[in-house]
Amino acid sequence: MIKKVAIRVDASLHIGTGHVMRCLTLGNALRVKGAEVVFITRQHPRNLIGFIQQKGFVLHQLPLLPDGEKTTETGLPQKLMHSQWLGVSQHQDALECIPLLQEIQPDWLVIDQYAIDCRWQGLLKPYYKKLMVIDDLADRQHECDVLLDQNLGRKVSDYRELVPANARLLLGTDFALLRPEFTRWRDFSLKRRATKPELKHLLITMGGIDTNNVTGRVLTVLKDCALPSDLKITVVMGGAAPWLEQVKQQAAQMPNATEVKVNVANMAEIMADSDLAIGAAGSTSWERCCLGLPTLMVVLADNQLIIANALERTNAAYLIGDQAAIVNQLPVLMNQAMLSSVQLAAMSHAASAIVDGAGVERVIALLEIN
**pLDDT interval class at 195 (50, 70, 90):** confident
Average pLDDT over residues 283-296: 98
Task: Collect all residues with Cβ–Cβ distance below 8 Å to 32 and sequence separation of at least 6.
Answer: none
pLDDT tens-place string over residues 220-265: 999 999 999 999 999 999 998 999 999 999 999 999 999 999 999 9
E strand or H helix that includes residue 58: strand 58-62
Q: Which residues contact 20 (CB under 8 A, 6 or more apart)?
A: 9, 10, 11, 41, 48, 51, 52, 112
Whether residue 74 is predicted with pLDDT greater than 80 in this model: the reply is: no
pLDDT on residue 225: 94
User: 229: burial class by Cβ within 10 Å (0-12, 13-18, 19+)?
Assistant: exposed
Of 150 and 73, the one with more pLDDT: 150
CA distance 228 to 246: 25
Q: What is the pLDDT of residue 303?
A: 85
Q: Which of 91-105, 134-148, 190-204 has the lowest mean pLDDT?
A: 190-204
- The most confident of the ranges 194-198, 301-305, 349-353 is 349-353
Residue 69 has pLDDT above 60, yes or no: no
Q: Kindly report the pTM of this predicted structure.
A: 0.93
| Nearest CA among 233, 238, 235 for reference residue 262 | 238
Q: State mean pLDDT over 266-278.
A: 98
What distance in Å separates the CA atoms of residue 41 and residue 23, rounded to the nearest whole number? 12
With contact defined as beta carbons under 8 Å apart, do 288 and 270 qualify?
no
In angstroms, the Cα distances linking 196 to 167, 257, 273, 344 are 46, 23, 15, 9
Per-residue pLDDT, 67: 65
Strands of the sheet containing 108-112, edge to edge, are: 58-62, 36-42, 4-9, 108-112, 130-134, 146-149, 168-171
Q: Are 7 and 110 in contact (CB under 8 A)?
A: yes
pLDDT score recorded for residue 313: 97
pLDDT at 330 over 70: yes
- Inform me whether the pLDDT recorded for 77 exceeds 50: no
In order of start, what are the domains of the chain with their CATH numbers? 4-178+357-369 (3.40.50.11190), 180-352 (3.40.50.2000)
Has residue 68 got a pLDDT over 80?
Answer: no
Share of the chain above pLDDT 70, in %: 96
- Averaged pLDDT of the chain: 95
Res 337: pLDDT: 83
d(CA 185, CA 170): 25
Worst-scoring range by mean pLDDT, 222-226, 307-311, 316-320, 337-341? 337-341
Residue 15 burial (C-beta neighbours within 10 Å; 0-12, 13-18, 19+): buried
How many other β-carbons are positioned within 10 Å of the β-carbon of residue 181? 17
Tell me the percentage of the chain whose pLDDT exceeds 90.
Answer: 89
Ramachandran class of 105: left when φ > 0, alpha when ψ lies in -120 to 50, beta otherwise: left
- As a whole number of angstroms, the distance between CA 145 and CA 143 comes to 7
| Average pLDDT of span 156-176 | 98
Q: What's the burial of 67, exposed, middle or buried (CB within 10 Å: 0-12/13-18/19+)?
A: exposed
Among 39, 12, 361, 370, residue whose Cα is nearest residue 174: 361
Cα torsion through 44, 178, 275, 223, rounded to 10: 10
Give dist(CA 122, CA 119) in Å, integer: 5
